[in-house]
Amino acid sequence: MVEREKILLDTDIGSDIDDAVCLAYLLANPVCELLGITTVTGEAVLRAQLASVLCKQAHQDVPIYPGAEVPLLVQQKQPKAPQAVALNNWSFEAKFPLNQAIHFLQESIRANPGEITLLTIGPLTNIGLLFRTDPEIPRLLKRLVMMCGVFTNRLAGVGPLEWNAIGDPHATAIVFQSGVKVHRSIGLDVTCQVKMPSNEVRQRFKSNLLRPVLDFAEVWFQQVSSITFHDPLAATSIFDSSICQFERGTVEVELTSSKVIGMTHWKPEKDGGHEVALQVNPDRFFDHYFSFFN
């Protein structure tokens, strides 16, 4: 029997559609044991409700905790959850425990030392607070996997800044300095290579679990005519290590220049503390992702 992977998910679901695409994958993957979800950035309760839609659609009772809505020091760049306009089309939990997200993460990790993969697919306020509240937590994780940062200049059109990293740059710095034993980052320069136009999304998102995701996506498609699978790529790398190629190195986060605050500086080092994705096999990714949806 294959041992299931214990996952905690920290997400800003409700803005870019890829968070919902990622959560659907985790719920559909039978090897994933999703222990809980925390939400981050503005309107965290609405984001929790969006996550609840997918959990109900998957018939899974997953604990959901709204987390920090305001970054540690900088101004909030993401005050609203626009996909929440689709909530009335679906069943969801309306109320959640408030002001308990950090404690929930702490208690879950301490109850399962060395067993949990923490997957972060949003700005890192919750995780920065967690690591500052309990500095032992990073060493109690099995691994930390993040969709965060930019680490190479190999893809035309990708600048030096990435949304999750700059959303709360001081929290980002805390997390990268935390000393997690296995710290893996998938950056914008790699995730931008797994993209699908809206017409193909509408054709392929036919399964029961992807129906609400497509409904949320229609809100996204009012502004963008495609989905880039940033967050799902980070999630799939946990379960299929052949999808991305990683290299070890060190990462520092820019905090001194206001123009590029939150920029990630990566340096290859054989014994570095961070694994950074350098390449992706898009065909392998899409084959793996859709293999869990009928």
- Average pLDDT for 144-157: 86
Q: Indicate the pLDDT class of residue 294, thresholds 50, 70 and 90.
A: confident
Torsion of CA 84, 90, 91, 96, to 10 degrees: -10
Q: pLDDT tens digits, residue range 107-116?
A: 999 999 999 9
Write down the pTM of the prediction: 0.98
Measured at the CA of 186, the angle between CA 181 and CA 189, to 5 degrees, comes to 145
Residue 189: helix, strand or coil by DSSP? helix
Tell me the HSE value of 141 on the side-chain side, using a 13 A CA sphere: 26
**Cα–Cα nearest to 19, from 167, 192, 168, 228:** 228
Sign of CA dihedral 25, 165, 50, 201: negative
Q: Indicate the pLDDT class of residue 159, thresholds 50, 70 and 90.
A: confident
Fold of 5-290: Inosine-uridine Nucleoside N-ribohydrolase; Chain A (3.90.245)
Q: How many other C-beta atoms lie within 10 A of the C-beta of residue 27?
A: 19
In b/e form, how buried is each residue of 123-139, taking b as 16+ CB within 10 angstroms?
bbbbbbbbbeebeebbe
Please give the full DSSP string across 22-63, using - where no structure is assigned: HHHHHHH-TTEEEEEEEE-SSSHHHHHHHHHHHHHHTT----
**If you average pLDDT over every residue of the chain, what do you get?**
96
In the chain, what is the greatest distance between 2 CA atoms, to the nearest angstrom?
A: 51
Please name the residue ranges forming H helices in 226-269: 230-239
Sign of CA dihedral 161, 247, 16, 122: negative
What residues does each domain of the chain span? Answer: 5-290
Please name the residue ranges forming H helices in the chain: 18-28, 44-57, 101-111, 125-133, 137-140, 163-167, 169-176, 188-191, 198-204, 210-220, 230-239, 282-290
- Average pLDDT for 94-98: 96
pLDDT for position 156 = 63
pLDDT for position 88 = 95
- Average pLDDT for 16-36: 98
- The DSSP bridge partners found for residue 252 are 265
In the predicted model, is pLDDT for residue 76 greater than 90? Answer: yes
